Chains A and B, each alone.
Chain A
Amino acid sequence: MIEISVASGKGGVGKSTVSATIALRIAQTGRKLVVVDADADAPNMHLILGIDSWDWERPYSDSWVAQINQDLCTACGECYKVCPYQAIYVQEGRYYINEVICEGCYTCTLVCPVKGAIVRRQTESGRLRGVNTKYGFPLISARLNPGRPNSGKLVTEEKGIARGMSPDVVLVDSAAGIGCQVVSSLAGANMAILVAEPTPSSFNALKRVHKLTKHFMQPSAVVINKYDVNEGLTREIEEYAQENNMDLLGKVPYDDSIPKSMALMRPVTEAFPDSPASKALLSVADRVLEILDNWADWFRAFRPKRPEPYRPLIIKPEGI
């Protein structure tokens, strides 16, 4: 099993478009593939693939909130005074907790004078779902409820479902950023495909996410999207990739067939196969197929030669 994670650091640079193209191409070759949409805050792979219903869906819970037991509450208002998130509100002399705002810190339980008047309750964070797409591979996706933080645990659960299907390839479309869920998207992956566009913010984010792939000693490849909007910066990204032994898979031109295909909820390579962007994306996907065919050689050539651990900043409390 080979696990490929597609990441970018910055959002909106084309991760899902690149992922969808690669997924379709891998599935066409008859390899058993499972795609994971690891961005539960803003899942969009199903939109690109035109999916409007799921084969299965189940609630996902990993967060807790405080709940006031109205039978026991004496309405003293102590909890209302201390809640650091101001998640408690008063209505007709009674106190209630706004579950969207509550972070489950339980400061309220520390000051509540009545035993059992405020309890911990697990709350639904979102939903996990899956579907067999018409393109010949299953998609595992998740959707978080408003105010519920994304988590590495959720991504790990999604990837666990995908791995459990024993596919040849797992393709993980990661979230933006380099936080907990992106660490979980990359951890255990055999290859990272990093998507960038030639803008200062995307280039900076690429370097940040690259620090993570170096930490995990993963071979990394680069795709430059909308490369022609700033060819000078595109050259800089190419040089960065070369200096850091990252495999440049290809460059995709700016092309309005991509937003048009999104509006149609179809992969661009299917909706507008002859567009310049589709041709470039397909050539990227073909490079991925070559890599899969020559996996051992490619892995050896692009795996970082030595570990470069990513050191988070440690702030120690005084006296420890």
Chain B
Amino acid sequence: MKVAFAVDENRGLDSLISHRFGRAEYFVIVDTDTNSYKVVRNPGAEARSGAAIKAIQLLIKEGVRKVYAGSFGPNAMTALEEMGIEYVQLSGVPVKEALS
């Protein structure tokens, strides 16, 4: 399963989970089946508005089923539920800690 983590500074699996979802700078996307990961820029960070929607479009394209961030706005929560992507509120801890 692919799990995404919203982060502001790219330090691989040591990146700290951001307090934001839609406007986080990157997503660390971990494939728990192959134990591999990649880091992608979040197009929502550059959006004037509708940031969460752009972020979710990316997650859908990447096949992500679960996402971690500190907070999810009203539009983010609704769209994630519509798309059946599980979301977990957690921030300030490294990605690898959240994984274990």
Residues on A facing B (Cβ under 8 Å):
62-63, 149, 151-153, 156, 180, 183-184, 187-188, 212, 215-216, 309-312, 314
Contacts and interface: CB of A to CB of B under 8 A. Distances in A.
Contact of B19 (A149, A153, A188): A188
A114 to B, nearest CB: 29
A187 B74 CA distance: 10
Interface centre among B45, B48, B70, B77 (most CB of A within 10 A): B48
Contact of A312 (B45, B46, B78): B78
A212 B74 contact: yes
Contacts, number: 51
A188 B24 CA distance: 11
B82 A314 contact: yes
B71 A216 contact: yes
A6 to B, nearest CB: 18
Nearest to A218: B71
A187 B48 contact: no
Given A63-B48, A180-B49, A314-B82, A153 B23 contact: yes
Nearest to A190: B19
B71 A153 contact: no
Nearest to A215: B74
Interface string B9-29: 000000000011001000000
A212 to B, nearest CB: 7
Contacts of A184: 23
A62 B75 contact: no
A188 B20 contact: yes
A153 B74 contact: no
A187 B76 CA distance: 12
Given A153-B23, A153-B46, A309-B77, A188 B51 contact: no
Given A183-B74, A309-B77, A312-B74, A151 B23 contact: no
A156 B20 contact: yes
Nearest to A63: B48
B19 A183 contact: no
Interface of B: 19-20, 23, 45-49, 51, 70-71, 73-75, 77-78, 82
Contacts of A314: 78, 82
B48 A188 contact: no
Q: Nearest 5 A-B pairs (CB), nearest first?
A: A151-B48, A310-B74, A188-B19, A180-B49, A62-B48
B49 A152 contact: yes
Which one of A63, A151, A153, A310 has the highest number of Cβ atoms from chain B below 10 Å of its Cβ?
A153
Q: Output the residue of B45, B75, B82 with the most chain A CB within 10 A.
A: B75
Given A63-B48, A149-B48, 9 more contacts: A149-B49, A153-B46, A180-B49, A187-B23, A187-B71, A188-B19, A212-B74, A312-B74, A312-B78
B75 A312 contact: yes
B49 A151 contact: yes
Nearest to A180: B49
A215 B77 CA distance: 10
Contact of B70 (A153, A183, A188): A188
A209 to B, nearest CB: 12
Given A188-B19, A188-B20, A311 B74 contact: yes
Contacts of A152: 23, 48-49, 51
Given A152-B23, A152-B51, A156-B23, A309 B74 contact: yes
Nearest to B18: A188
21 contacts: A63-B48, A149-B49, A151-B48, A151-B49, A152-B48, A153-B23, A153-B47, A156-B23, A183-B74, A187-B19, A187-B23, A188-B19, A188-B70, A188-B71, A215-B74, A309-B77, A309-B78, A311-B77, A311-B78, A312-B75, A312-B78
